[in-house]
Amino acid sequence: MMYGYYNMMDWGGLGLFFPILFFGLLIVSFFVLFRNNSCCGKEEHGKLEKTPLDILKERYAKGEIDKKEYEEKKKDLS
């Protein structure tokens, strides 16, 4: 009359595999979720903390604006 335990063993041991797989996937998914949130959160905060002068320097470095325009805008920001 103890079908629960013996039925798991009748599958050749695979009955014990599924709970282990389930909890393993659960633990891995929580790890990935928290890892992604902590990683991306730092990057987003870093992007939000850029000053206008930093953005101006990046635009000049990328070649989006020339030196004259860079100097004018830098003077306006200071």
What does DSSP assign to residue 49?
T
8 A C-beta contact, residue 53 and residue 77:
yes
Asked whether the predicted pLDDT for residue 4 surpasses 90, the reply is: no
Q: Report pLDDT for 20.
A: 84
Instruction: Find the helix packing angle between 67-77 and 52-62, rounded to 10°.
Output: 180
Q: Which of 36, 52, 53, 34 is nearest to 44 (CA)?
A: 36
Residue indicated by tokens 């990328």: 62
Q: Does pTM top 0.75 for this prediction?
A: no
Give the span between the Cα atoms of 68 and 28, in whole angstroms: 53
pLDDT in tens, 14-37: 667 777 888 999 999 888 887 766
58-69: per-residue pLDDT in tens?
A: 999 999 999 999
Comparison of pLDDT for 68 and 44, the residue scoring more: 68
